[in-house]
Structure 1
Amino acid sequence: MPHQSVAVLFGGRSVEHEVSIITAQQAMDALEVAGYKVLPVYIAKDGAWYAGRPLRELALFRDPTVKYEDLAGVHRVAVSPDRTARFLVMHPYAKRGFFKRDPELWADVFFPCLHGTFGEDGTLQGLLEMADVPYVGCGVQAAALGMDKVRSKALCKAAGIPALDCVAATRAQWQRDPLGFLKQVEAAFPYPVIVKPCSLGSSIGVKRCLDSAGLREAVETALVLDERVLVEPALTNFREVNCSVIGPPYQASTCEMPHYKGELLSFESKYSSGGKSGKLAGGKMPAAGMGKAAGAKAGVSAAGMASLNRTIPAPISDELTREAQRLAVAAFEAIGGEGITRVDFLLDDNTGQLYFNEMNTMPGSLAYYLWEASGLGFDQLVTKLVEGA
């Protein structure tokens, strides 16, 4: 085993903070089954970093008033950008000073399990590159490109992967000329249209608009959440087909087809199934097949993305399955991806055409359910990811 100790980074400053906690707890379960020693590293919503074994317990995140630095065995830490250090250092406000290779706080490899801003967008990856530590997943450029829906669409089109056209605007452009942007959208596409924040995941801020008033409201909401917004035509008769990819060398999983109420897959549809609103229950998060999931926070199911109602394998033809897998690999390759991704497609049932929708370079629950259906256990999946760091 090339890496004995794995620091799992989770939480973060994005709106997907709670989802990250669930993904990390699932990943830590699988890593321990695979024989790794796990060091939980929690990034609080205010950006403070904490490390220590007690953070392995999901119950700690039930109480928003808990003071992590006061917990026995938990230390406030930081990643030093000094490449000669190559390990965690104590924060200046921490109770202890500088330390080296503390057996409880040293890690051979870092495993980010953060979703969204400051975790999945290349910023964290840049810090880890500066520190010169091995880490799981995409590098700086690939993570940034995968997070940017406009640029990832452009790269996919350049690689011959079908994707819907879109019109985009920054917050500054919208504030300067909102009517001009509305006219640009209406000249490009008939209603209905779909509005999306450019760099958010978990379907946050995504709206289907039937008229100009709805479009304006949706754009304004999206630009509160993100610096850039995109608008694309809404398919009227479609299904979603998703496929995960690991590598290099690249390998595609079986495909899935999510099922949800309404016309769009919402954050609630993805993460609230089976969950109890408003609290996290105690105990460790079980990985697939490792026990019963317990509890949730802010309506997020403790099973994470695994709780979504889906059909695996997707009920599509073998030919279409192979095409989705080929396009998923091509999309991940187009951004120079490493580690794991989940590529989401829209299947136009009127034409049979698959369209690239978006990719998630840190998919919820690490898309383990797709790999289990492909014959690769969760512990085997995380082992592959760690070995590729």
Structure 2
Amino acid sequence: MNKKIRVAVLFGGKSGEHEVSLHSAASVLQAIDRDRFEVVPIAITQTGEWHRGSEALPLLEKSLNRGALKEMKEVLERETAISASSISGDITGLKEQVDVVFPVLHGTFGEDGTMQGLLEIADIPYVGAGVLASAVGMDKVMMKKVFAHEGLPQGDFTYYMRFQIEKDLEQVMDEVEARFGYPCFIKPANLGSSVGISKADDRDRLHKGLKEAARFDRKVVVEEYINAREVEVAVLGNDEPEASVPGEIVSSNDFYDYRAKYIDGKSEMQIPAQLPAETLEEIRHLALQCYRAIDCTGLSRVDFFVRHDDRKIFVNEINTMPGFTPYSMYANLWKHSGLTYASVVTKLIELAMQRYEEKKKTITTFEVN
């Protein structure tokens, strides 16, 4: 009988997307194939404390139903030999205890390359994008600069540092009004799940939006408003990635903000998006271009705008660890493309192991003959 692969599912984190991570991780823990994998839950609290095994499960009490929580505790007692003590932030010893890490972490200190760098140093295989792709994908300014270099279609944008907003907010607003007019969008550069994003229809809302975004990041992006449909594509793979069928988000709010995504439950997904076949194919092609542009591996969701009047396509952003419940757009896009949620989880773990083996081909020593 083949030995089961031991997977550490890492979740929570010091991020504005902490709660989103809990829901994603609970879904992964429930869906993972127990015939092939053993699971070790590892939780990071919002204050940065690390806990594993049964000590990690209290963070998931709201995300796992009572039966699932009881089952998970029983599984840990039956299958997992790892101590449930706190790991005190030192994961170097984890390499000897697990085969691969599934970092179901969204936002800063998880999706931005910091955790990926820690896992690289610890020499542990992990699911998802590497350090570079994670960092570029998280920072909307750097992402947009890379996409511009690759000739990918985007809307107009600019950005300001927090110190500029604090030092001369009136001048910043004057510049934004002259360049974009109203409405326009304001976003923290390094955050996801629409946290801190606002739409400014006048100077007062621009003022509030800039100050709000600056609370979440030292870099703030301002984008032109595009009257468009929001279409998303799921990408899966390493060197030869595949793109799902595109799907459209019909937001319950003025735009697809945090409330529309996670609270009111009224937004709709239309999969596949109701667009001409050639438009859908072009969107899939662009999604793969975006994926390769930042050297992504594992998974990503690439978001687009399709302008109403002429169907012109604009790249919005790439998300290297998108929301990951069975009801999230990423999972639903693959479901409509022929892959179940459980099979996507399995595939991602396999891709992580393959990427680790491929990287071992790279030598790290040099001798002069």
The answer to whether the superposition gives a TM-score over 0.5 is yes
Code of the residue aligned with 1:222 in structure 2: it is A
Is contact 1:312-1:373 (8 Å) kept?
A: yes
SS at match of 1:319: helix
Match of 1:76 in 2: 86
Q: Quick check: 1:129 aligned with 2:120?
A: yes
Match of 1:240 in 2: 230
Match of 1:334 in 2: 293
Pair 3,326 (structure 1): closer, same or farther in 2 beyond 3 Å: farther
Match of 2:15 in 1: 14
2: CA distance, partners of 1:60 / 1:331 = 37
Q: Quick check: 1:41 aligned with 2:42?
A: yes
Q: Which has more helix, going by share of residues? A: 2
Q: Deviations over 1:105-150 (max 9, x none)?
A: x210000001011011111111111111111111111101001111
Is contact 1:242-1:342 (8 Å) kept?
A: yes
Equivalence map 1:164-313=2 (5 Å): 164-235=155-226, 237-248=227-238, 249-274=240-265, 309-313=268-272
Q: Aligned-pair distance for 1:213? A: 2.0
Code of the residue aligned with 2:332 in structure 1: it is Y
SS at match of 1:364: coil
Q: Aligned-pair distance for 1:33? A: 5.2
Equivalence map 1:139-158=2 (5 Å): 139-158=130-149
1: CA distance, partners of 2:107 / 2:285 = 26
Is contact 2:253-2:260 (8 Å) kept?
A: no
TM-align CA RMSD = 2.3
2: CA distance, partners of 1:259 / 1:331 = 23
Match of 2:29 in 1: 28
Q: Aligned-pair distance for 1:54? A: 6.2
Structure 1 gaps, min length 5: 63-71, 88-100, 275-306
Is contact 2:113-2:134 (8 Å) kept?
A: yes
2: CA distance, partners of 1:310 / 1:78 = 41
Match of 2:362 in 1: none
Identity %: 38
Pair 190,3 (structure 1): closer, same or farther in 2 beyond 3 Å: farther
2: CA distance, partners of 1:86 / 1:207 = 41
SS at match of 1:75: coil
SS at match of 2:309: coil
Code of the residue aligned with 1:343 in structure 2: it is V
Is contact 1:25-1:58 (8 Å) kept?
A: no
2: CA distance, partners of 1:34 / 1:186 = 58
How many residues matched? 330
Q: Deviations over 1:75-123 (max 9, x none)?
A: 21145465xx453xxxxxxxxxxxxx5xxxx210000001011011111
| TM-score calculated relative to the size of structure 2 | 0.84
1: CA distance, partners of 2:133 / 2:22 = 23
